[in-house]
Amino acid sequence: MAKKSKTTEPVGGEVLADAKESEALEKSRMKAARSKPRKPGKTYKYIEELAHLQMELIKLQEWVRMRSLRVAVIFEGRDAAGKGGVIKRITESLNPRVCRIVALGTPTEKERGQWYFQRYVPHLPGAGEIALFDRSWYNRAGVEHVMGFCSDAEHKEFLRSCPLFEEMLVRSGIVLVKYWFSVNDEEQEKRFQERISNPSKRWKLSPMDLESRKHWIEYSRAKDVMFAATDKPRAPWNVVEADDKKKARLNCIAHLLKQVPYENMTPVEIEVPPRQADIGYKRPKMSSQKFVPKIY
């Protein structure tokens, strides 16, 4: 029998890039934690700038938690516009008990018979929480309308009632921030083809994503109609130019940090107490436990 090779399976280029980025970020975050806050400039290094922004997000998180604030952030945009990448960079250094992602699937039969906004209400943030909506109730203005999953009357009612719903959220004390990620046609097509050719990213393409390509102009018109009806002073749309993924991430996070005035709530250093001394405890024999096989 041939000896098993210990080499790893080939991994997609972006997966390796993300792994290297995460490793570099961890080092940069430690450095950022010890340095003074700085103003962003034209000259910067992506990893170092992202690390500084993530340290600020930690301060914001603690402020939201300690002050029992409620923050809801909506991310919308074309397929492959970069929403997921920004959400990942926001959450990777935060506490999932404070900052959570809301990414709902296809509505169930029961949910289809409910008031439209009803399925989203349970996912709104409670006191001390940040909820990031990876797509939201705006599905009705986009995919549902274009693909015929709702009637014209339902679409029209959504455009009328959505600003009222969002005004209620804001009046209740929720900080509501809405982002639309804008990417040009050529860049969007490039990313789409990359997802098709990269096995590690094909899961991002649903049958609906493929079908939506046949309705490109209809989606553009639907977005324009949606903006005209829902871009209101109390809940405005913030457009993120996303042709450059890295710049889009930095710009979006920097903007988000300005939406909630916060103070420096960086967790203080903890003095670790001494570990309990040995008082005669004996561990059970290793043979009595079932260990994971050492394949690597």
- Does the pTM surpass 0.85? The reply is no
Question: Which sequence spans correspond to the domains of the chain?
Answer: 22-264
Query: Comparing 89-98, 102-111, 216-225, 279-288, which segment has the lowest mean pLDDT?
Result: 279-288
pLDDT tens digits, residue range 170-208? 999 999 999 999 988 788 778 777 777 777 777 767 777
pLDDT tens digits, residue range 51-72? 999 999 999 999 999 999 999 9
pLDDT tens digits, residue range 244-266? 999 999 999 999 999 999 998 77
Angle CA(291)–CA(295)–CA(296) in degrees, nearest 5?
115
The CATH T-level fold of domain 22-264 is: Rossmann fold (3.40.50)
> Is pLDDT of 1 > 50?
no
